[in-house]
Amino acid sequence: MASNTEQTAGQTPKSTKGIGIALFALAIVLFVIGVVGTKDPALSIHPMDQFELKPAFGGKEISLFTVTNGAVWNFLAVLAVLALMVVGTRGRAIIPSRVQSIAEMAYGFVHKMVEDVAGKDALDYFPYIFTLFLFIVMTNFLGLIPTSFTPTAQIAVTVVLALAVFIAVTVLGFVKNGVSFLGLFWVSSAPLALRPVLAIIEVTSYFVRPVSLSIRLAGNVMAGHAVLKVFAGFAGALGAFAVLPILGVVAIYALEVLVSFIQAYVFTVLTCVYLKDALHPSH
Amino acid sequence: MEGDIANLGQYIGAGMGALGAGIAALGVGNVAGNFLAGALRNPSAAAGQTATLFIGIAFAEALGIFSFLVALLLMFAV
């Protein structure tokens, strides 16, 4: 195990650089083939086409049990999370390998976030929040692979995730605090005359939570991917000047990697905030 | 020219909804800028406040999301 890490530490910079250059060359070649191969490049890419659900293994109609491309990429994301955690925790080396470092960092990151934002007694629910974070971050990252499908860009997927959090937190609040959970809506520090008005606002903002939670994630991911495709369309239309939009695509892609992580983080951090409200509904 | 006056209003409304999403960006920038200003004055305290930063950004962004939602509804649901 020790020799393995030494070896990778010595060789990393050179081999990574080589792989990077090879990937870049591959991307250029694929792009040229794509531009030459399509009849009317300007019109061949519609930015919203990538979000269309299709049956993954042939066929046209989508029934209740059809395996769609969304289901396939959801499954791949789960598989990737499993692989990351299984491979990452298998070695348990004192000097961690790269995969183990990633697994440990992800665990420590979410653990600290739950503890800081929601408090120590919220750590009982850490497994669910960690699962949520890993799933969202992994679907986002896998969705960044060209020609793949992003389940988190579908409002249906994010609504289910957000509703699960919303219902769980509401039930938890009533189970833990009983009727005094409703004190969340009754701002006792405000003047008495203001309290009914504030209660209306608080109730509204409470029920709006799943809406904003789901549409924030889906909207950010969808907008980012659509912008990528729009720039790709520019590249097709410009011919020899396509270098400029390609550089733009590279920059936006980097931004999208950041956004993928940040949106997963924001989703889980807001889950922690809601969890804190459920566990300690004092206003 | 295709479509009728209702479609016209629908698309104008969707565009105005998108404007609201852009204005929410002002709020997000305000949150992030003030965080940076505070963080540069006291860098040692900044690391512990990143969660607060993102919660603030998320809340500011939520209202932009509603206008985005209105735009989406106008485009696809009405």
Tell me, yes or no, if B75 comes closer than 8 A to chain A by beta carbon: no
CA distance B55 to chain A (A): 7
**C-alpha span between A24 and A18 (Å, rounded):** 10
Q: What are the extents of the domains in chain B? A: 5-77
Q: Check if the beta carbon of residue B48 is closer than 8 Å to that of residue A115.
A: no
Contacts of B65 in chain A (CB under 8 A): 211-212, 215-216, 219
Of the candidates A116, A216, A219, which has its C-beta nearest B58's C-beta? A216
Per-residue pLDDT, averaged over A198-223, amounts to: 92
Confidence of residue A5 (pLDDT cuts 50, 70, 90): very low
Per-residue pLDDT, averaged over B48-57, amounts to: 88
Per-residue pLDDT, averaged over A210-233, amounts to: 89
Contacts of A116 in chain B (CB under 8 A): 48, 51
Contacts of A262 in chain B (CB under 8 A): 54
Contacts of A113 in chain B (CB under 8 A): 51
pLDDT in tens, A117-160: 998 999 999 999 999 999 999 999 999 988 889 999 999 999 99
What dotted CATH number matches B5-77? 1.20.20.10
Say yes or no to pLDDT of B55 above 80: yes
pLDDT in tens, A224-234: 898 888 888 88
CB pairs under 8 A between A and B: 35
Of the candidates B51, B66, B69, which has its C-beta nearest A116's C-beta? B51
pLDDT in tens, A234-265: 877 777 777 888 888 899 999 999 999 999 99
Q: Check if the beta carbon of residue A122 is closer than 8 Å to that of residue A176.
A: no
Of the candidates B54, B65, B69, which has its C-beta nearest A269's C-beta? B54
**C-alpha span between A272 and A58 (Å, rounded):** 41
Cβ <8 Å between B66 and A212: yes
Of the candidates B51, B57, B66, which has its C-beta nearest A117's C-beta? B51
- DSSP class per residue in chain B: --S-HHHHHHHHHHHHHHHHHHHHHHHHHHHHHHHHHHHHH-HHHHGGGHHHHHHHHHHHHHHHHHHHHHHHIIIII-
Contacts of B51 in chain A (CB under 8 A): 113, 116-117, 269
Residue carrying structure tokens 């990429």: A73
CA distance A221 to chain B (A): 13
Element spanning A105, H or E: helix A98-118
CA distance B20 to chain A (A): 14
pLDDT in tens, A63-117: 888 888 899 999 999 999 999 999 998 888 888 889 999 999 999 999 999 999 9
Query: With a CB-CB cutoff of 8 Å, which residues 9-68 of chain B face chain A?
Result: 48, 51, 54-55, 57-58, 61-62, 65-66, 68
What pLDDT score was predicted for residue A269? 94
Q: What are phi and psi of A215, to 5 degrees?
A: -75, -25
Query: Reduced to 3 states, what is the DSSP secondary structure of residue A58?
Result: coil
ipTM: 0.79
Per-residue pLDDT, averaged over A196-216, amounts to: 92
Cβ <8 Å between B54 and A211: no
Shortest CA distance from A117: residue in chain B: B51
pLDDT in tens, A19-55: 888 887 887 777 666 656 555 545 556 777 888 888 8
Of the candidates B51, B55, B61, which has its C-beta nearest A216's C-beta? B61
**Total-model pTM:** 0.82
Amino acid at A119: G
